[in-house]
Structure 1
Amino acid sequence: MEGLTVQGLTEEEQAIVEAVRAFVDRDVKPVARDLDHNDTYPERLIDQMKHLGVYGLAIPEPWGEARVSTPCYALITEELSRGWMSLAGAMGGHTVVAKLLLDYGTDEQKDRYLPRMATGELRATMALTEPGGGSDLQAMRTHAARTADGYVINGSKTWITNARRSGLVALLCKTDPAATPAHQGISILLVEQGPGFILSRDLPKLGYKGVESCEIAFDDCHVPHTALLGGREGRGFAQMMRGLEIGRIQVASRAVGVGRAALEDALRYAQERESFGQPIWKHQSIGNYLADMATQLTAARQLVLYASRRYDAGERADMEAGMAKLFASETAMQITLNAIRIHGGYGYSTEFDVERYFRDAPLMIVGEGTNEIQRNVIVRQLIGRGTVAP
């Protein structure tokens, strides 16, 4: 198609990807190690991301200016993760909430939130997981009781990224605990911080530093009727499942970015480091690692782009997004481990970035629905569709 680049992007989209790549190389790479080791929130980098338009990538006119295709969004996420995966995490849930508002929000909800979300003035996140529930969302206990003027929320959520710095939370909760089947009693409420919204603690983590992951308690938290996404109860589960398609594409893109960073570092080191009189990439065992890493990374990226194109076509993409997330995250885990092997003892040192990639990679295996859940989604869709043809 005329005007499209090799990745299927428009020339304008390719320019945005290149601008983010330059930002990562110039401003992120030099400081990411220190920010990670000190677990420091990257305020300056977040501000630069706002100016680049990263928070408005999913928001079209009249609320935003720079909505891009999902393949472009995936490649931008990859670039950010190549620099520091936490930066991509700082905008991932925000994009899911933007998509939820665009697809299901009332005109009033769109006008209230999307213009400020597009600039990053208002940041958003989603709250799904509960301390005892994990991936079983239908078993959630957080509930919202109807009142004359709105809802009163009680319950708790955990692993909420950006909870302290988000002014809007898309909360998945039960508005009809007696509904059968259970998913028909689940709704999404758009909750702003206020009385009864309690940020209890930040969770300590192996990796994914700098950006907070919190527990939230709701203790008689009041919201108006207008907080109900779309204005109708009982549709939240289906709405969130569609939202998680873009969420899983985003997590898969993060995995590709982390894997790419590890491969790039391993390639550079394998050319600089010599043993037995030659660069170590010439040793067959190291060369085989590098060849396999590059092949797996390329396959993972293509799966992500395939899921992205299907999503943009308006087709059901839960199986494709699940495949991309499953394969890309497992690939990132293997690539980061092999990067440590290639670096030898230095790979275990905090003076080299490969140890950070290895700590960040597991998040994509368990985040946005564990890979075990992804396999369940994939096989159900295989049986339901009755074909493996694309």
Structure 2
Amino acid sequence: MLKRTLYDEEHEIFRNSVRKWAEAEIFPHIEDWRDAGCVSREIWRKAGAQGFLCMYADEKYGGLALDDFRYDMILCEEINPREPGFFIGLHNRIVGPYLHKLGTEEQRDRFMPGIVSGETILAIAMTEPGTGSDLGGVKTRAVDMGDHWLLNGSKTYISNGLLAGLIVVAARTGDGHEIGLFLVEDGMDGFERGRNLKKMGLKSQDTAELFFDNVKVPKENVLGDPRRGFKTMMMNLAEERIMGALGFMARAEYAFGITLDYVMDRRAFGQPIGTFQNSRFKMASMRTEMDAAWALTDHCAREHLSGQLSVEMAAEAKLFTSEVEARVVDECLQLHGGAGFMDEYEISRLYSDARISRIYAGTSEIMREIIGRGLGLDSRSRN
């Protein structure tokens, strides 16, 4: 197994504390949360009490003023494989930074204390019924009414959609790529949540439809320039894809570990099935591919820490790790035989959970498009 050198001693101390906390507060509740279709609000408050939410936030908001991406990487690696429905990475590293970096002081004073404590759960609403990875096709519109913005439209597949108390909504404010980001609060008139969407995997993750019918958004709830939100979203997608890559690899690693135990315990023809050449070769190939994917992921994390991560490299990491995860969980399920098809075995759930990895945060096809354009292979410039 690849020896990772990204973390220092203090990071490993933090990892141990996260691991103990998750064993006590998260993993015993997995079945209940899967049945309920969402994690509890209480686990968010408990995470806040531990200081695990938006650690980069200023101390006056209850944060740790600790802006080290590696701590959130550890949270992802320790929690995601066994309870991927607790979208703490979305809260901390995808939505939280919009308030932390783009919000006004008044907005931070108003919202950050609840975000840090876990009282206010975050979501971001980009995807629409007819618009997926192409954010330029957003139909939801916000019109400047002088003293407020009037928001109309709908969003779908919104993670944390049911539990979120504050949602960053992307809406068209003009022509072309003129998009604004609006802070919609729970209880605003005209804002409604649809059903908790039933999914193949991530059973404990609340994924919802959102509807906006003449929602009056105060001017103080606009994030940044209401015409330049598209550029802001593009800048934050690289970090989202690295967070995704970490989650994919953590799940693949967990699937590999439980499968290694299984093939050593399960016997056929008088010997452990792991000792057969086919099993050895399959495990060896997966180990090699995972080590290569970890190396790429850690390289991109270092680039991100230094502010040097390119959009294309983030896309490469997201593409490769999601594809590696898919191959690993598939091979691991096969090595479990009939047991792998049974939901009582974790590998069955890991297989189902992994299918979304090649879709969200940009599909594999969109990742290839980004990488190809980076090579100068853009069909639009050739016509």
- Fold shared per TM-score above 0.5: yes
Q: In 1, are the aligned partners of 2:53 and 2:91 still within 8 Å (CA)? A: no
Q: CA offset at residue 38 of structure 1?
A: 5.8
Which residue matches 2:380? none
Root mean square deviation of aligned Cα: 2.1
- Matched to 1:256, the amino acid is M
Deviations 1:220-257 (A, max 9, x none): 00111111112x22110111112222211112111112
Determine whether 1:167 maps to 2:175.
no
Which residue matches 2:337? 344
Which residue matches 1:387? none
Q: Flag the 1:238–1:332 CA change in 2: closer, same or farther, 3 A.
A: same
Deviations 1:331-357 (A, max 9, x none): 111111111111111111122110000
Which residue matches 1:369? 362
- Give distance in 2, aligned partners of 1:29 and 1:297: 25
Determine whether 1:14 maps to 2:8.
no
Q: Flag the 1:50–1:7 CA change in 2: closer, same or farther, 3 A.
A: farther
The within-5 A match list for 1:258-273 is: 258-273=251-266
Which residue matches 1:388? none
TM-score by length of 2: 0.91
Deviations 1:367-387 (A, max 9, x none): 111111111112222339xxx
Q: Flag the 1:383–1:75 CA change in 2: closer, same or farther, 3 A.
A: farther
Q: Flag the 1:381–1:300 CA change in 2: closer, same or farther, 3 A.
A: same
- Give distance in 2, aligned partners of 1:37 and 1:264: 26
Determine whether 1:222 maps to 2:220.
no
Which residue matches 2:235? 242
Stretches of structure 2 lacking an aligned partner (at least 5 in a row): 378-383
- Give distance in 1, aligned partners of 2:136 and 2:7: 38
Q: Flag the 1:83–1:135 CA change in 2: closer, same or farther, 3 A.
A: same
Which residue matches 1:135? 133
- Give distance in 2, aligned partners of 1:22 and 1:329: 28
Q: In 2, are the aligned partners of 1:245 and 1:321 still within 8 Å (CA)? A: yes
Q: Flag the 1:204–1:6 CA change in 2: closer, same or farther, 3 A.
A: closer
- Matched to 2:81, the amino acid is R
Which residue matches 1:70? 69
Q: CA offset at residue 75 of structure 1?
A: 3.0
Q: 1:287 aligns with which of 280, 289, 293?
A: 280
Q: CA offset at residue 58 of structure 1?
A: 4.1
- Matched to 2:307, the amino acid is G
Q: Flag the 1:214–1:135 CA change in 2: closer, same or farther, 3 A.
A: same
Q: In 2, are the aligned partners of 1:170 and 1:188 still within 8 Å (CA)? A: yes
Which is worse superposed, 291-300 or 162-171? 291-300
Stretches of structure 1 lacking an aligned partner (at least 5 in a row): 385-390
TM-score by length of 1: 0.89
Q: Flag the 1:344–1:68 CA change in 2: closer, same or farther, 3 A.
A: farther
Which residue matches 2:300? 307
- Give distance in 2, aligned partners of 1:328 and 1:106: 36
Q: CA offset at residue 53 of structure 1?
A: 2.4
Q: Flag the 1:310–1:45 CA change in 2: closer, same or farther, 3 A.
A: same
Q: 3-state SS of the aligned residue for 2:80?
A: helix
Deviations 1:143-163 (A, max 9, x none): 100012110000011111111
- Matched to 1:310, the amino acid is E
Q: 2:327 aligns with which of 331, 334, 341?
A: 334
Q: What is the percent sequence identity of the aligned residues?
A: 31
- Give distance in 2, aligned partners of 1:19 and 1:155: 43
Q: 1:210 aligns with which of 170, 181, 204?
A: 204
- Give distance in 1, aligned partners of 2:227 and 2:15: 38
Q: In 1, are the aligned partners of 2:180 and 2:228 still within 8 Å (CA)? A: yes
Q: 3-state SS of the aligned residue for 1:83?
A: coil
Q: 3-state SS of the aligned residue for 1:54?
A: coil
- Give distance in 2, aligned partners of 1:99 and 1:38: 29
Aligned length: 373
